[in-house]
Amino acid sequence: MNWLISIIAFLLGLSIGSFCNVCIYRLPLRKSIILPRSYCPLCEKQIAWYDNIPLFSFLILKGRCRHCRGPISIQYPLVELLVGLLFVVAYLSVGSRGLSSILIPFFWYFCASLVVLSVIDWKHFIIPDVVIYPLILLGFILAAVLPRHLDATGIIPALLRALLGASVGGLSLWLIGVLGRAVFKKEAMGLGDVKLMAAVGAWQGWQMVLLAIFLGALVASVVGVTFIILKKAQWGSRIPFGPFLAAGSLITLFFGWEILFWYLGLY
Ligand SMILES: [Zn+2]
């Protein structure tokens, strides 16, 4: 019943994506993510439950508020769709690699957190600590709950591997930041990026976090060059690195070891 669970995972992802939108909007404003209920930022009318159904309400309302007809940002359905799809990929990747199903809720949490911090970083150039610290903590909890996940046989070795991964991830990015400052004479990397890669290292181990940084830089270069060609940005424009690191980290979460073995087998 793979397809049935995939559909349930997708619908769950849509709802969590809807909650991610609340976090993306409210966390940088330091507002509560629980109360009050969602309201239209333009006319401030509360949004009824039937106008708050992920993806579908946006389509039915044709992207406009029911009361003031003001435009609803396309970001809302896109984030919902992205989280929905990531939930399906996470479920399928755990199943197809024969991993423990305990990993599925952990992977879902990882995906949702990375989407939230990517969009916030993209819009505000910050990665909030309230997203990153629980993510780091949960990386260590995962190691303790499922030592096998980091290829360890006991809780202590697993925690040490998580610590090694966090250190390698954080230090590598900190070093890239120092080199970037020396070469380009300007701030290249924020402390948020360093903490993000520490979190990813705790979750995925030192090999995967290095691969994630490499893939993130690769995606960033491709996107950066495309933007410059399309004249949407200039050489040296400020582009947040967080979303690219997050993209690299999601690729390694789902396909990291496959990519590494393919690479090692090829060369
Ligand atoms: Zn409105």
Cβ–Cβ under 8 Å, residues 139 and 147: no
49 C-alpha vs ligand 1 centroid, how far in Å? Answer: 15
Return the C-alpha torsion angle 117, 118, 120, 122, nearest 10: 160
> ∠ CA 52-54-59 to the nearest 5 degrees?
90
Sign of the four-CA dihedral 218, 251, 223, 235: negative
41 C-alpha vs ligand 1 centroid, how far in Å? Answer: 7
Token duo for residue 87: 């939930």
Query: Peptide bond preceding 240: is omega within 30 degrees of 0, i.e. cis?
Result: no
> Residue 134: what pLDDT?
97
48 C-alpha vs ligand 1 centroid, how far in Å? Answer: 12
Residue ranges covered by each domain of the chain: 1-98, 103-267
Token duo for residue 241: 């690195």
64 C-alpha vs ligand 1 centroid, how far in Å? Answer: 8
> Residue 236: what pLDDT?
62
57 C-alpha vs ligand 1 centroid, how far in Å? Answer: 14
69 C-alpha vs ligand 1 centroid, how far in Å? Answer: 6
Along the 267 residues of the chain, how does pLDDT read in single tens digits?
A: 689 999 999 999 999 999 999 999 999 998 888 877 888 888 988 888 898 899 999 999 999 999 999 999 999 999 999 999 999 999 999 998 888 999 999 999 999 999 999 999 999 999 999 999 999 999 999 999 999 989 889 999 999 999 999 999 999 999 988 888 888 777 667 899 999 999 999 999 999 999 999 999 999 889 888 888 887 666 666 778 899 999 999 999 999 998 998 888 876
174 C-alpha vs ligand 1 centroid, how far in Å? Answer: 43
Integer Rg of the chain from CA: 20
> Residue 188: what pLDDT?
64
> Residue 237: what pLDDT?
66
42 C-alpha vs ligand 1 centroid, how far in Å? Answer: 5
The model carries a pTM of 0.92
Q: What CA–CA distances, in Å, run from 124 to 13, 68, 73, 128?
A: 24, 27, 16, 10
> Residue 265: what pLDDT?
84
30 C-alpha vs ligand 1 centroid, how far in Å? Answer: 22
73 C-alpha vs ligand 1 centroid, how far in Å? Answer: 12
54 C-alpha vs ligand 1 centroid, how far in Å? Answer: 17
Amino acid at 199: A
163 C-alpha vs ligand 1 centroid, how far in Å? Answer: 47
Ion ligand 1 neighbours, Cβ < 5 Å = 40, 42-43, 65, 67-68, 70
Cα–Cα distance, 246 to 158 (Å, whole number): 23
Cα–Cα distance, 101 to 91 (Å, whole number): 8
